């Protein structure tokens, strides 16, 4: 019932938009008269939908949102496909979408795994935790936009807090022609900010075909994790590119990393595409990190220094 009501309102709101394409092509008086009728029809459809919805809420004693969420969660559990918009995601760049994306990921995880899908749009988010057996699929035209450092991040691993993070998880995939912007206003000046993706003690992770731009810290941190593939990823404008720490079986392939090492307060000690130091944390991991068919560049601003 709710779906039919919403579909009717969507159709009624589309008719005036279609009619406006005829502006200047038909008799002006006829055009204006029909346009007014279509707009009135749209307002009437919305009012009737609201009245009917209120009546259903009284009968069922459940809100419209709760009923739809319960139905979609059940459908998602059966198909193992979870659309973030069905959990309240808007993707308009203005409203907070953290809760919707996190709810879809948690529902997918609880169902035993599957795919969480984000359709084209700009999703303003704070840190979100990734879960085992979940594929995060970003459609073409998706931007995940950092709007807060939030309270997320691997517990006890604050240095590697990130916009998307996982700890002690397995079988995670991020597949996408979409992009993530990790910039936070003022972060470069005050040293605050987040890494974009951080994995801590994870196994069997794939990150493919993703664009990462304008983060203030690292693009991807892979710490104490095994069997990780990073393929066809583009990272630009980062304080660091991909940071491996005590990794086992990390393959970075077909990727382009073009970073700047200046975060606005002097040069970053990790201002390299893939920083690697002969430190105790990385000793004993020779041969465990492979880089193939990648382009590693400084940003143009660094090239001029």
Strand order in the sheet with 295-298: 92-96, 121-125, 142-146, 179-181, 211-213, 234-236, 256-259, 295-298
List the structure tokens of 209: 């075909």
Q: What is the pLDDT of residues 127-151, one digit of tens each?
A: 999 999 999 999 999 999 988 655 4
Taking a C-beta distance cutoff of 8 angstroms, is the pair 93, 131 a contact? Answer: no
Q: Report yes or no: 183 and 146 within 8 Å, Cβ to Cβ.
A: yes
pLDDT tens digits for range 271-296: 678 876 545 455 445 558 999 999 98
> Could you count the other beta carbons within 10 Å of the beta carbon of residue 81?
17
Q: Which long-range contacts (CB under 8 A, 24 or more apart) does 12-17 make?
A: 12/41, 12/42, 12/44, 12/45, 12/46, 13/42, 13/45, 13/46, 15/41, 15/42, 16/42
Asked if residue 270 has pLDDT above 60, the reply is no
- Residue 173 reports pLDDT greater than 90: yes
Query: How far apart are alpha carbons 146 and 219 in whole angstroms?
Result: 13
Work out the number of other CB atoms within 10 angstroms of the CB of residue 222.
27
* pLDDT digits 0-9 by tens, 122-131: 999 999 999 9
- Range scoring the smallest mean pLDDT among 174-183, 257-266, 277-286: 277-286
Quote the percentage of the chain above a pLDDT of 90: 42
pLDDT at 155: 35
Q: 208 or 11: which carries more pLDDT confidence?
A: 208
């Amino acid at each position: 019932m709710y779906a039919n009501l919403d579909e009717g309102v969507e159709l009624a709101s589309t008719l005036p938009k279609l009619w406006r394409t005829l502006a200047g092509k038909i008799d002006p008086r006829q055009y204006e008269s029909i346009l007014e009728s279509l707009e009135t029809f749209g307002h009437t459809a919305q009012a009737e939908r609201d009245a009917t919805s209120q009546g259903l809420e009284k009968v069922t004693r459940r809100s419209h949102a709760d009923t739809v969420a319960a139905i979609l969660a059940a459908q998602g559990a059966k198909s193992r496909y979870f659309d973030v918009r069905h959990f309240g995601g808007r993707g308009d760049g203005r409203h907070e979408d953290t809760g919707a994306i996190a709810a879809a990921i948690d529902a997918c995880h609880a169902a035993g795994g599957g795919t969480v899908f984000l359709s084209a749009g700009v999703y303003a988010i704070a840190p979100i935790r990734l879960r085992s057996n979940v594929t995060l699929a970003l459609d073409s035209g998706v931007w995940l936009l950092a709007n807060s450092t939030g309270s997320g991040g691997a517990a006890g691993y604050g240095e590697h807090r990130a916009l998307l993070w996982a700890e002690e998880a397995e079988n995670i995939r991020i597949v996408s022609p979409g992009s993530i912007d990790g910039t936070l206003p003022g972060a470069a000046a005050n040293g605050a900010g987040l890494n974009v993706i951080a994995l801590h003690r994870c196994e069997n992770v794939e990150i493919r075909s993703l664009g990462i731009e304008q983060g203030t810290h690292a693009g991807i941190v892979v710490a104490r994790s095994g069997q990780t593939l990073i393929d066809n990823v583009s990272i630009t404008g980062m304080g660091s590119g991909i940071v491996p720490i005590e990794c086992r079986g990390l393959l970075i392939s077909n990727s382009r990393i073009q970073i700047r090492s200046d975060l606005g307060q002097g040069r970053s000690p990790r201002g390299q595409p893939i920083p690697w130091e002969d430190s105790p944390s990385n000793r004993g991991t020779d041969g465990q990190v492979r880089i193939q068919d990648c382009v590693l560049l400084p940003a143009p601003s660094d090239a001029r220094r």
